[in-house]
Amino acid sequence: MVEQVSSVFDTILVLDFGSQYSHLITRRLREFNIYAEMLPCTQKISELSWKPKGVILSGGPYSVYEEGAPHVDHAVFELGVPILGICYGMQELAWINGKQVARGEKREYGPATLNVVDQDSPLFVGVNHSRVWMSHGDKLHGLPTGYKVIATSDNSPFCGIAHESKFIYGIQFHPEVTHSTLGKIVLKNFAVDICHARQNWTMENFIDTEIQRIRQLVGPTAEVIGAVSGGVDSTVASKLMTEAIGDRFHALLVDNGVLRLNEAAIVKQTLCDGLGINLTVVDASDEFLDKLKGVTDPEKKRKIIGNTFIHVFEREAAKIKPKDGKEIEFLLQGTLYPDVIESISFKGPSQTIKTHHNVGGLLEDMKLKLIEPLRELFKDEVRHLGELLGIPHDLVWRHPFPGPGIAIRVLGEVTRSQVEIARKADHIYIEEIKKAGLYNKISQAFACLLPVKSVGVMGDQRTYEQVIALRAIETSDFMTADWFPFDHDFLKKVASRIVNEVDGVARVTYDITSKPPATVEWE
Ligand code: GLN
């Protein structure tokens, strides 16, 4: 049997009751090199194939006393490991032990000061009088049997409670949000000092265990195929596969005609020559551009590119014949932990759990088994892993690039000549951003070609050419974003270079809309 990451590393299990912050608990613990994994609160403990070192019950939008509110599997208390309830999680502990939870007189949302009353409590070492973040309407109005109060706040007489002999703790505040200034120390105290979890979750250790895991999963002869895009996730996943099984991994780059300037050649050089990945590049640009002829609707463009990709990938993959004469058995996918979280987070008592597929269509048709070596990792962990695997720094820190590529950055009809204009303008823009040392300060930057013409004058001649819009945003999560405040000289230089060096452009504008109301991409 192939071992899971959670059986190799000491793992804290986070049971998610649907709080918007649940994944942050996992995130914070990993910052202390403690591996943590989130599962929905409906998880049956008997169905876990590994034993956690400790369990955290998250917050949630429900009230424990409501009909239909989610409740934890009581078997969690028989595991004999420490438990920490956060907000709803603490209310759940109290509800199970005497039902002393009810609606409070007032909601408490925002900062409060933690007042530690039990100075000996291992949970609160080093955090007394720090600011903590509250977000609740329900309250404990009594102490559950066997528990004592270990902390209070102005509004919460039961801000922290503990059942010391069973190592069960409850806190009303949210230690996982950064507004709780020392909240991560509370989580670390719980995981390290109370659960005794080893702090060995490092990407150095992960590489070794993951390579072993891939070898076990794939076996001694089977072969694996995967699409690469030139982005960090697919490159890291491919390099890891190559380290594990060498040439039995086949990477496929489909040139869809809407990649960045010289992208196929650059990817070939970096992945094949630089990283030793067994890569095949397929030029399918005519096929994609033919299908895009006359199409101006952004959703249609996306669909055409997605479907054509599946078609081309399947056809080209069928041409790759494993050495043993059998069929390829596995499909590599660069799924990351946020996608996994999205598919398993608890969205309501009646929710059915969806699985996440980037390329679901491929799996159904090709009867391939899925292999996802990055599914336990957050993006910054993938980047760190990439650096360790020797992937060039520029590639590791590359801005995200959409699957439909430049097709959604050429507004209106996508033709070879239009793609060429957008590509060249984008190349100049990114080059200048890098020269100015701004690339890593910006989350995403690109040039768009607008389907309008505008009058200009060049060398005493009237021109009537198109318009390039430049976009650059700063964001931490891509859910909201702000435009980047370039200085005027920078914009002047880029505009001048684009109009001078790219035929077909008469004017350059800078997009100063945030998200919302706009989106990052224009289409
Ligand atoms: N719904 C519960 C309350 O209002 C728990 C809130 C939470 O976990 N953030 O108290």
Q: Which atom of ligand 1 is nearest to the CA of 135?
A: 9
**232 marked among binding-site residues:** yes
Atom 8 of ligand 1, nearest CA residue: 59
User: Tell me, what amino acid is at 247?
Assistant: D
In 5-130 the beta strands, taken as DSSP E runs, fall at 11-16, 35-40, 54-57, 83-86, 101-113, 115-116
- Pocket lining for ligand 1, CB < 6 angstroms: 19, 59-63, 87-88, 135-138
Compute, in angstroms, the gap from residue 33 CA to the centroid of ligand 1.
Answer: 29
Whole-angstrom Cα distance, residue 420 to residue 418? 5
Give the pLDDT score at 197.
Answer: 98
Give the pLDDT score at 352.
Answer: 42
Average of per-residue pLDDT across 77-93:
97
Give the pLDDT score at 349.
Answer: 61
The 10s digit of each residue's pLDDT in 320-334 is 988 777 889 999 999
Compute, in angstroms, the gap from residue 61 CA to the centroid of ligand 1.
Answer: 5
Give the pLDDT score at 186.
Answer: 98
Helix (H) or strand (E) holding 235: helix 232-245
Q: Which atom of ligand 1 is nearest to the CA of 86?
A: 8
The Cα angle at residue 427 between residues 421 and 428, in degrees rounded to 5? 95
Q: Which atom of ligand 1 is nearest to the CA of 60?
A: 8
Give the pLDDT score at 363.
Answer: 58
* pLDDT at 356 exceeding the cut of 60: no
* pLDDT at 353 exceeding the cut of 60: no
Q: Which atom of ligand 1 is nearest to the CA of 17?
A: 8
Those residues with Cβ within 8 angstroms of residue 63's Cβ, 6 or more apart along the chain or in another chain: 69, 91, 101, 103, 137, 138
Compute, in angstroms, the gap from residue 135 CA to the centroid of ligand 1.
Answer: 6
Q: Which atom of ligand 1 is nearest to the CA of 61?
A: 1
The 10s digit of each residue's pLDDT in 465-502 is 999 999 999 998 788 899 999 999 999 999 999 999 99
Lowest mean pLDDT, pick from 176-190, 257-271, 287-301, 339-353: 339-353
Compute, in angstroms, the gap from residue 322 CA to the centroid of ligand 1.
Answer: 54
Give the pLDDT score at 365.
Answer: 65
Compute, in angstroms, the gap from residue 98 CA to the centroid of ligand 1.
Answer: 18
Give the pLDDT score at 368.
Answer: 87
Burial 460-479 (b: 16+ CB within 10 A, else e): eeebebbbbbbbbbeeeeee
Compute, in angstroms, the gap from residue 516 CA to the centroid of ligand 1.
Answer: 28
**233 marked among binding-site residues:** yes
Whole-angstrom Cα distance, residue 36 to residue 30? 7
Average of per-residue pLDDT across 284-303:
96
Q: Which residues are catalytic?
A: 87, 174, 176
Centre a 10 Å sphere on the Cβ of residue 406 and count the other Cβ atoms it contains.
27
pLDDT band at 355 (very low <50, low <70, confident <90, very high): very low
Whole-complex ipTM: 0.92
pLDDT band at 408 (very low <50, low <70, confident <90, very high): very high
Higher pLDDT, 347 or 225: 225
Higher pLDDT, 187 or 2: 187
* pLDDT at 391 exceeding the cut of 80: yes
* pLDDT at 358 exceeding the cut of 50: no
**235 marked among binding-site residues:** yes
Whole-angstrom Cα distance, residue 308 to residue 312? 6
Q: What pTM does this model have?
A: 0.88
Average pLDDT, the chain: 93
Q: Which of 298, 366, 284 is nearest to 333 (CA)?
A: 366
Of 15, 58, 91, 95, best ligand 1 pocket probe by most atoms within 8 Å of the beta carbon: 91
Whole-angstrom Cα distance, residue 101 to residue 95? 6
Give the pLDDT score at 230.
Answer: 92
What proportion of the chain, given as a percentage, has pLDDT over 70? Answer: 96
**234 marked among binding-site residues:** yes
